[in-house]
A and B are shown apart, each in its own frame.
Chain A
Amino acid sequence: MRKPASIFATSTGAVLLLGSAFLTPVVAAEATLAETGKAVAEDRTKGNCFACHDYPGAVLPGNVGPKLMNMKARFPDKAKLRAQIYDATKNNPNTIMPPFGKHRILTDKELDAVVEWVLTL
């Protein structure tokens, strides 16, 4: 039986270090912004989006949020998508989705990368 100690790994220094060690090579190998975004999104201490969202290729996704698909069509306006991820409470005051930008869960750069990744879904 898998034993998830926590759903959202607490971002201890050690975990963060591991996280960036894992991200750096991707960036170095001229990853596209979208690829970087995917890595950020799937890092449990960062986006951890699949805790709540299913999307093509998601591993053991949750179903708290809607499936992320056809995102380009759903969000023709990139700023709107960015705003949703930056602070989802703007659109829905009672949302469970964390305010990734407002609460500095992601940096501006990471957020931009995640936006690019979401648009590939």
Chain B
Amino acid sequence: MKKLLTAISVALFVGVTATPAIAGPAEDANAFREYFKKRFPDIPFDDYINGVYAVNAGAREQWMAIEEFPPYQIAIDEGKKLFGTPFKNGQTYGSCFSNNGVGVADEYPMFDSKRGEVVTLELAINECRVKNGEEPLPWSKGKIASILAYMAFTTRGKKIDIKVPDDKALAAYEDGKRFYYARRGQLNMSCAHCHVDNAGNNLRANTLSPALGHASHWPVYRSSWGDMGTLHRRFQGCNEQVRAKAFKPQGKEYRDLEYFLTYMSNGLTWNGPGARE
């Protein structure tokens, strides 16, 4: 940031008409990457998708052992079955997505300019159900997590490439960003306090994972949950940790937050579903 400011003032000083230095999403994401590169010079960019295991070698070994018999495999299998089972009207989930829903999880979260809001994969799945005369699924665990796991699995290896297509999208992005940096709860902490400023440090015995890569690997099997959960379930947990009231999963707040957070991971690789302690 300081460097950026210096560059700007130099540009002004010598009278160069540079492009107006309005910090936008691309600049933010770049600053984000640069920050972590400086903080962890030895961590290759691509490794950030592994969360806390990128910064904690001891925990990483245990995790690699766990990944040999991934605890999310059951969810992938169940998700595949659910995904392939027709609704009562004979349609399938595939009918609601491009490429029949295979390998397309990377299209989300997307800003739908017509609707003027962020559409997450969960939202798309439940809207698909409702459109086909089915009840929506509960948002943050269970069947929806299995369907997400299957869809994420078929998308593994693609690059994260979130777009901010217009001014309304930018506003949603900015709302998500504000959320990320806002202090919250009785303990008065922002997301950034833990996952940017203190990434790699220990809170008690818990190493804090870097925010870069946070969106790449959902849903996650978490040992302390004992099952699969969505990104918004994690958001709720992190809000409650600072004694703040959690927001509703898939409400505007968390969808905008997801949009911002995923954009920050642009250029990394989708690798869901994941396993975490």
Query: Which residues of chain A have a CB within 8 Å of any CB of chain B?
Result: 1-8, 10-11, 50-52, 60-64, 89, 94, 96, 98-99, 103-105
How far apart sit A62 and B201, CA to CA, in the bound complex (Å)?
7
Cβ contact within 8 Å between B224 and A3: yes
B202 at the interface (CB under 8 A from A): yes
By a CB distance below 8 angstroms, the chain A residues around B205 are 2, 4, 60, 62
How far apart sit A51 and B201, CA to CA, in the bound complex (Å)?
11
Q: A1-B277, A60-B204, A96-B193 are in contact. List 4 more A-B contacts (CB 8 A).
A: A8-B187, A10-B241, A62-B206, A96-B197
Least Cβ–Cβ distance between B38 and chain A, in angstroms: 17
Cβ contact within 8 Å between A64 and B206: no
Which of A61, A89, A98 interacts with B204 by CB under 8 Å?
Answer: A61
Q: A11-B243, A96-B194, A98-B189 are in contact. Are A64 and B224 (CB under 8 A)?
A: no
Query: Which residues of chain B have a CB within 8 Å of any CB of chain A?
Result: 186-189, 193-194, 197-198, 201-206, 223-224, 237, 240-243, 277
Chain B binding surface SS class: loop
Least Cβ–Cβ distance between B13 and chain A, in angstroms: 29
Q: A96-B189, A98-B186, A98-B188 are in contact. Are A4 and B243 (CB under 8 A)?
A: no
Which of A3, A63, A64, A103 interacts with B187 by CB under 8 Å?
Answer: A103
Pairs A–B under 8 Å by Cβ, sample size 16: A3-B223, A7-B206, A7-B241, A8-B242, A50-B204, A61-B202, A61-B204, A62-B201, A63-B202, A64-B203, A89-B188, A94-B197, A96-B194, A96-B198, A98-B186, A98-B187
Q: How many A-B residue pairs have CB under 8 A?
A: 64
By a CB distance below 8 angstroms, the chain A residues around B277 are 1, 3
Least Cβ–Cβ distance between B235 and chain A, in angstroms: 14
By a CB distance below 8 angstroms, the chain A residues around B223 are 1, 3
How far apart sit A3 and B187, CA to CA, in the bound complex (Å)?
22
How far apart sit A8 and B243, CA to CA, in the bound complex (Å)?
8
Instruction: List 4 A-B pairs, minimum CB-CB distance, nearest first.
Output: A96-B193, A98-B187, A62-B202, A62-B203
By a CB distance below 8 angstroms, the chain B residues around A51 are 203-204
Which of B188, B189, B204, B240 interacts with A62 by CB under 8 Å?
Answer: B204
Cβ contact within 8 Å between A105 and B186: yes
Least Cβ–Cβ distance between B59 and chain A, in angstroms: 10
How far apart sit A60 and B203, CA to CA, in the bound complex (Å)?
9
By a CB distance below 8 angstroms, the chain A residues around B237 are 6
Highest count of chain B CB atoms <10 Å: which of A1, A51, A62, A103: A62
Least Cβ–Cβ distance between A11 and chain B, in angstroms: 7
Least Cβ–Cβ distance between A2 and chain B, in angstroms: 7
How far apart sit A103 and B188, CA to CA, in the bound complex (Å)?
8
By a CB distance below 8 angstroms, the chain B residues around A4 are 204-206, 224
Q: A6-B240, A96-B189 are in contact. Are A63 and B201 (CB under 8 A)?
A: yes
By a CB distance below 8 angstroms, the chain B residues around A98 are 186-189
Q: Which residue of A lies closest to B206 (CB)?
A: A7
Which of B188, B193, B197, B203 interacts with A7 by CB under 8 Å?
Answer: B203
Least Cβ–Cβ distance between B225 and chain A, in angstroms: 10
Least Cβ–Cβ distance between A106 and chain B, in angstroms: 11
By a CB distance below 8 angstroms, the chain A residues around B206 are 4, 7, 62
By a CB distance below 8 angstroms, the chain B residues around A62 are 201-206
By a CB distance below 8 angstroms, the chain A residues around B243 are 8, 10-11
By a CB distance below 8 angstroms, the chain A residues around B193 are 96
By a CB distance below 8 angstroms, the chain B residues around A96 are 189, 193-194, 197-198
Q: Which residue of A lies closest to B224 (CB)?
A: A3
By a CB distance below 8 angstroms, the chain B residues around A61 are 202, 204
